[in-house]
Chains A and B, each alone.
Chain A
């Protein structure tokens, strides 16, 4: 029996070098970052080391926001914007997912459509706004179309990538049990592609919010985008920022919704 205490050689604990590379939930850090940045700007503008021309004072932006709320204009702007966003994004994402599935499932579709998608992906959709106005009219039609078109391409790319990544052994398993083609697509391919589709949706919906402002550049009296553009042309920084903050909050809400969906739908992931 050897006794550890008799050991005379140098001894030290093995250094820990594992851990990390694994996202964990840190709920309040995000909020803290916002509070810190806003607090810093407020302090800077009050103390004078940020001039009133560079950045508006957060408290004044909040006051502008309050006015907007009390005048009842807040909802007058928000409702049409949300409608445009919902209709456009739903249209673009659903057609995009369908197209992506077709590309993922049929070789002919892939050969035919992948180059087309590659060709339209890099076009700045904003540049096509005049065209959309001619095609779909100056009213809501062109706005829906712009947002739908912008969400469509990234959704397609994400979806067919996700379909390609579905575990082929699961598909072989389905075939070996004599499942019908439709069952294999519905019960194996679609759920297997869901993680990729949802993370693609995160990007597409952010793009939809960006395009919302662009869509409201032409012929929109109400809408957050219209509100921002009007404030911008008057150099009314408080109102400009009030509008921008609304867009940011919208972005955070969309991202939270997708996070929630991921939790509900993808709980099976290890």
Chain B
């Protein structure tokens, strides 16, 4: 079991202060959604959590050991999929196993398993250019599952997709989670996504991003449906928190 703790994270790019005093616990087996106005530092925070950047202040802590057989504890899923266009679906999954000495006969069952879980078994030999956007993101999810991550870091994974595909993929994520709960930090602009997938929703203020409020959603993921009235209420509340910030952030960009 591995938890993540953020302690007093602050970050600046030159004179631009992006994050200020962010402290947060990310518990095993739960999905934390990060919402906030554009430019408030959500992607930056995610890069800090995954060790792709160093915070100017504060620490990111891993508490406890990652589970047995975990190859890459902190694993990203990117908005633009980040698939290698010259590798097939299978090759893209195998890429992240090769460096751990898992190839050929040893890799085959892992690849088959993750492709089956993301319903891609029939497309193992397709190149990314042959796939639709939703399928590409499922390949990226399969690739992330292959390294058996302790925490998945998702930066607007569905925002490059059309709304139907988004619904379908959200259902996929929910069924993946109900079958085998994973820990995730899920950045999104879309409050509907946040209330469908999040056990907690963290609302950030406009830049410099601070935690405005943390909303807990008790309803189990499997019971949440499309246009669920309970969730609508939470979504309303989130929007009321965000509206002012979003408007202010929107106007701020003009004088930057």
Contact = CB atoms under 8 A, between A and B. Distances in A.
Interface stretch (B2-10, B14-22, B81-89, B247-255): B81-89
B92 to A, nearest CB: 10
Contacts of A175: 52
**Residue from B72, B75, B87, B96 whose CB has the most chain A CB atoms within 10 Å:** B96
Contacts of B129: 268-270
Contact of B82 (A169, A179, A268): A169
A177 B147 contact: yes
B76 interface: yes
A191 B83 CA distance: 13
Contacts, number: 55
B184 to A, nearest CB: 15
Contacts of A169: 78, 80, 82
Contacts of B74: 176
A187 B75 contact: no
Interface in B44-93: 50, 52, 71-72, 74-76, 78, 80, 82, 84-87
Contact of B86 (A179, A183, A191): A191
B222 interface: no
A220 interface: no
Contacts of B128: 268
Interface string B89-115: 000000110110000000000000000
Contacts of A172: 52, 78, 82
Interface in A196-253: none
A20 interface: no
A177 B96 contact: yes
B127 interface: yes
A30 interface: no
Contacts of B95: 177, 179, 187
Nearest to B74: A176
A85 B225 CA distance: 69
A50 B218 CA distance: 92
A130 B109 CA distance: 63
Interface in A149-188: 169-170, 172-173, 175-180, 183, 187-188
B126 to A, nearest CB: 11
Interface residues of B, number: 23
A169 B50 CA distance: 15
Contacts of B85: 268-270
A179 B127 contact: no
Contacts of A178: 71-72, 99
A169 B82 CA distance: 6
Nearest to B95: A187
A173 B78 contact: yes
B98 A183 contact: yes
A176 B32 CA distance: 20
Contacts of A177: 72, 75-76, 95-96, 99, 143, 147
Interface of A: 169-170, 172-173, 175-180, 183, 187-188, 191-192, 194, 266-270
Q: Which 5 A-B pairs have the closest CB atoms?
A: A173-B82, A268-B86, A177-B96, A176-B76, A270-B129
Given A177-B143, A179-B95, 13 more contacts: A169-B80, A169-B82, A177-B95, A177-B96, A187-B95, A187-B98, A188-B84, A191-B84, A191-B86, A266-B86, A268-B127, A268-B129, A270-B129
29 contacts: A169-B78, A169-B80, A169-B82, A170-B82, A170-B84, A173-B82, A175-B52, A176-B50, A176-B52, A176-B72, A177-B75, A177-B76, A177-B95, A177-B96, A177-B99, A178-B72, A179-B95, A179-B96, A183-B98, A183-B99, A187-B84, A187-B95, A187-B98, A191-B86, A192-B86, A268-B86, A268-B128, A269-B85, A270-B85
Interface of B: 50, 52, 71-72, 74-76, 78, 80, 82, 84-87, 95-96, 98-99, 127-129, 143, 147
